[in-house]
Structure 1
Amino acid sequence: MKHLYLAAALAFALPATGFTQDILSVIGSDGSPVKTYSMDQLDALDQTTYVTKNPYIDDTSEFSGPLARVVLADAGQDMPDGAQLRVTAINDYKIDMPLTDLLDYDVIFATRRDGETMSLRQKGPIWIMYPISDHAELEDDAINNRLVWQLKSIQVVE
């Protein structure tokens, strides 16, 4: 009985935590892990919000999250000319996107849609989003292929 009380006391003594599980990995150009992010850590970065559409949703939605270029900078990753960002989803879907996209547009790692976190079923917890509604040139199949949902890792490749 004494052990039961001790276990209960320890459970209440532990600090309350939010979303502390790592959900995004940044991988170095040499393939080594550089940094991982939890939802709390992504939320601690400056957030960008915009309303946009894409072919995977019925109407426009408000998406928010850190700018992709801010995450790379926070992880100490350079963005050399001509380099690509290799993004990988939980299901191992991979695509390389030009790093110039991150400089030319406010590409975000969306962690929220309409103010709510996204479950795996809702294409979360991270969905790469472009401000498609603000730039007609982004209404393109090549861009649509870069709207990777359930993002798990990113890597700058040359």
Structure 2
Amino acid sequence: MVPGTVLRRSFAGLSVALLWLAGTAASASPEFVILKQGQQESRLSVEELRQRADLRFSFYDPYLADEVEITGLVFRDLLHETFGEVPAQLRFTAWDDYDVTLGGWDDPNWILVTHHDGEPLSLRQRGPLRLVERDYGSRDPGNLRNFNDWIWMIREVEALP
């Protein structure tokens, strides 16, 4: 084999791999959240959600053990707007591939968080989107097990029948 041939083939293989990764990154990006119902799938801009976020409040975040300012949207309203109803069950997939199916979303207490202390959430801050409960009711914020249905790093939401 000619000495430069191996190098050219390796470079070509690397180029194809990089193009594939770039295409994958473009279709799955923290800039969008994927919403699915049946065969329909849509991408919603995280930036648009940030701009629409009109609910701002302070509360005690048990994971940070601190009072924080949250900005976001009432999740139930977004579900109704997107799916025409609040689905009984939703499957969430996070950026770290955590996957969970939960119900009970027809409750204005669930907030889709877009900002934390005035700054847009990044993946490092468990964003770009996260779900939290605005009101803890009678639960003790010192007991983290009470908050095991908070969902972070949301990449995809799928409505289930």
TM-score above 0.5: yes
| 8 A contact 1:22–1:36 mirrored in 2 | no
Is structure 2 residue 97 aligned with structure 1 residue 95? no
| 8 A contact 1:111–1:117 mirrored in 2 | yes
Task: State how far apart, in whole Å, the 2-side matches of 1:114 and 1:69 are.
Answer: 23
Equivalent residue number for residue 125 of structure 2: 122
| 8 A contact 1:52–1:131 mirrored in 2 | yes
* Cα shift readout 1:52-89 (whole Å, capped 9, x = no counterpart): 22332120211111111122122134225xx2121111
- 1:14-25 to structure 2, matched below 5 A, reads 22-25=31-34
Q: Which residue, out of 38, 44, 49, partners 1:42?
A: 49
Larger strand proportion, structure 1 or 2? Answer: 2
Equivalent residue number for residue 136 of structure 1: 138
TM-aligned CA distance change 1:39 to 1:103, over 3 Å: same
The structural deviation recorded for 1:152 is 0.6
Equivalent residue number for residue 110 of structure 1: 113
- 1:8-87 to structure 2, matched below 5 A, reads 22-28=31-37, 30=38, 32-45=39-52, 47-80=54-87, 83-87=88-92
> What is the SS of the residue equivalent to 1:75?
helix
Query: Which residue identity does 2:83 align to in structure 1?
Result: G
Gaps of 5+ in 1: 1-19
TM-aligned CA distance change 1:96 to 1:143, over 3 Å: farther
Query: Which residue identity does 1:23 align to in structure 2?
Result: F
Gaps of 5+ in 2: 1-28
TM-aligned CA distance change 1:155 to 1:77, over 3 Å: farther
| 8 A contact 1:25–1:36 mirrored in 2 | yes
Q: Normalised by the size of structure 1, how large is the TM-score?
A: 0.70
| 8 A contact 2:53–2:71 mirrored in 1 | no
Query: Which residue identity does 1:48 align to in structure 2?
Result: L
The structural deviation recorded for 1:40 is 2.6
Q: Which has the larger radius of gyration?
A: 2
Q: Normalised by the size of structure 2, how large is the TM-score?
A: 0.69
